[in-house]
Chain A
Amino acid sequence: MLNYIAAQFYTFCLRGPMLDPAEITMGSGTPQSMRLTRAVWLDRLVPGTRIHTGVYIALFLAFVVWLLLWRTSWGYRMRAAGAGERAARYGGIGVAGCLVAAMMISGAFAGLAGAVEVAGVHRRAIEGITGGYGFSGIVVALFGGLHPAGIVPASFFFGLLIVGADMTQRMAGVPANMVLVLQGVIILVIVATRMVLANPYLADRVWRRYRALFRRNMEE
């Protein structure tokens, strides 16, 4: 949704008004901004790794999201509007307002993620920073069970998968894009699992079989 417009605008800014003057002087023209001042860099937490203090921002946001969505009436309305639009509308919830607010919050979080990535890792705006994060974010949210407590470990798992994909290209000769295929498989499995878990008839049938088996074993 308007992603291509934003991507083109981003490229235009990096190749035009925000291009590093040093690139023009040297003539290389690499599309990147000037390096940010050291004052705004996020510090590395563990030497030798790329983990930076942005992790505190992520954990703080996880707490805020949990608090807002699970402990306030506003959060309840948002969750209701997302879970069942017609039912929420019938219950008097302004679904359209929730939708717009949801998209705004989503955008704001994505913007913050970009700022954290720039201040923590690249220290300047360069092309290709956003590649893949938008889609992976959806998979991570689903994989984490749409709950902050699940999303944080799921992000680290997918981080592993994304970095591993780069490695497989170099070390196992498997195309890095295979990680997208694996993400697709994971989405299918998650959706199927949710459908199975939400089916009370299946759970009841398994329960009856389990009980019958347990009784037969007791009788024997």
Chain B
Amino acid sequence: MTKQFKVLYRTAIILLAGAAAMLLGAFILWAIGADVTKTYSVITRTPEKPDTDRRSDHPAIPLTVIALGSRSPTGAALSNRRGGQMAMGILAATAVALALPGLPKAVLLRPWPSPREPSAGRHGHQPGLLKAKLQSASCSPR
């Protein structure tokens, strides 16, 4: 198998997968009686218009950080939804910002470490510990 073929094969599979996702989505939209072309057009074009209220750059930043957290962990934490941990981070960051209003931004919002990470991390630590215990119990010899 040549390297060229491997690249071609992977590209073809990924393109086919993209087309399959679009087709499946179109089928579901058609099934609920929606205008498929209009819906796809609205999703892909409208958010980028300058006069639009909300733009795609808005949710992309927190999504990047959360998804990086999902990756950094391994498959283990991929199954862990982080809505609760995000909430704990928001509470910790807001509490610190309100309690110490003179704190410079560079100190409060530095990526690591600041009060919100231990707070949210500790919240993630609890289910992690429980899951690890459960896994080690199920894997231990009987």
Encoded as 1 (CB less than 8 Å from any B CB) or 0, chain A from 28 to 63 comes to 000001101101111000001111101101101110
Within 8 Å CB of B70, what residues of A? Answer: 106, 137-138, 140-141
Partner of B116, one of A2, A112, A152, A167: A112
Specify which of B1, B83, B88 is in contact with A203 (CB 8 Å cutoff). Answer: B1
B83 touches A197 (CB 8 A): no
How far in angstroms is the closest Cβ of chain A from B18?
Answer: 8
What CA separation (Å) do A100 and B76 show in the bound complex?
9
B125 contacts A3, C-beta separation under 8 Å = no
Interface of B (DSSP majority class):
helix
Q: How far is the CB of B61 from chain A (nearest CB, A)?
A: 5
Q: Is the CB of B60 within 8 A of A1?
A: no
Q: How many residues of A contact B (CB 8 A)?
A: 126
For the complex, is A129 an interface residue (Cβ under 8 Å from B)? yes
Query: Are B98 and A151 in contact, CB atoms less than 8 angstroms apart?
Result: no
**Cβ contacts A186-200/B at 8 Å (1 or 0 each):** 101110110011000
Q: Which of B63, B76, B89 contacts A137 (CB 8 A)?
A: B63
The reply to whether A106 and B83 contact each other, CB–CB distance below 8 Å, is no
**Is B101 a contact of A37 with CB atoms below 8 Å?**
yes
A81: which B residues are within 8 A, CB to CB? 74, 76
A64 surroundings in chain B (CB, below 8 A): 111
Q: Is A91 an interface residue (CB 8 A)?
A: no
Shortest distance in angstroms between A200's beta carbon and chain B's nearest beta carbon?
Answer: 9
Specify the chain B residue showing the minimal Cβ separation from A193: B17
Check if A107 sits within 8 Å of B121, measured CB to CB. yes
In the complex the two chains form, is A10's CB within 8 Å of B90's CB? Answer: yes
Interface residues of A in 165-220 (CB under 8 A from B): 165-168, 171-175, 178, 181-182, 185-186, 188-190, 192-193, 196-197, 203-204, 206-207, 210
Q: Which residues of A contact B120 (CB under 8 A)?
A: 107-108, 110-112, 114
Chain B interface size band reads 35 or more
With contacts A6-B88, A58-B64, A151-B64 taken as known, whether A105 is within 8 angstroms of B121 at the C-beta atoms is yes
B75 contacts across to A, CB distance below 8 A = 82-83
Q: Is the CB of A141 within 8 A of B67?
A: yes
Partner of A204, one of B1, B81, B133: B1
Contacts of A148 in B (CB 8 A): 68, 71
Min CB–CB distance B19 → chain A (angstroms): 10
A161 to B43, CA, bound (A): 6
Contacting pair B58 A134 (CB below 8 A): no
CA distance A172 to B36 in the complex (A): 9
Residues of A within 8 Å of B47, CB to CB, are 160, 163-164, 167
Tell whether, in the assembled complex, residue A156 and residue B56 are in contact, meaning their CB atoms are under 8 Å apart: yes
A164 touching B44 in the complex, CB below 8 Å, given contacts A100-B132, A134-B66, A197-B10: yes
Task: Report the nearest B residue to A117, measured CB to CB.
Answer: B62
A134 x B73 contact (CB < 8 A): no
Interface contact B24-A185, CB-CB below 8 Å: yes
Q: Which residue of B lies closest to A79 (CB)?
A: B74
Do residues A164 and B21 form an inter-chain contact, with CB atoms below 8 A? no
**Does A144 contact B67, Cβ atoms closer than 8 Å?**
yes
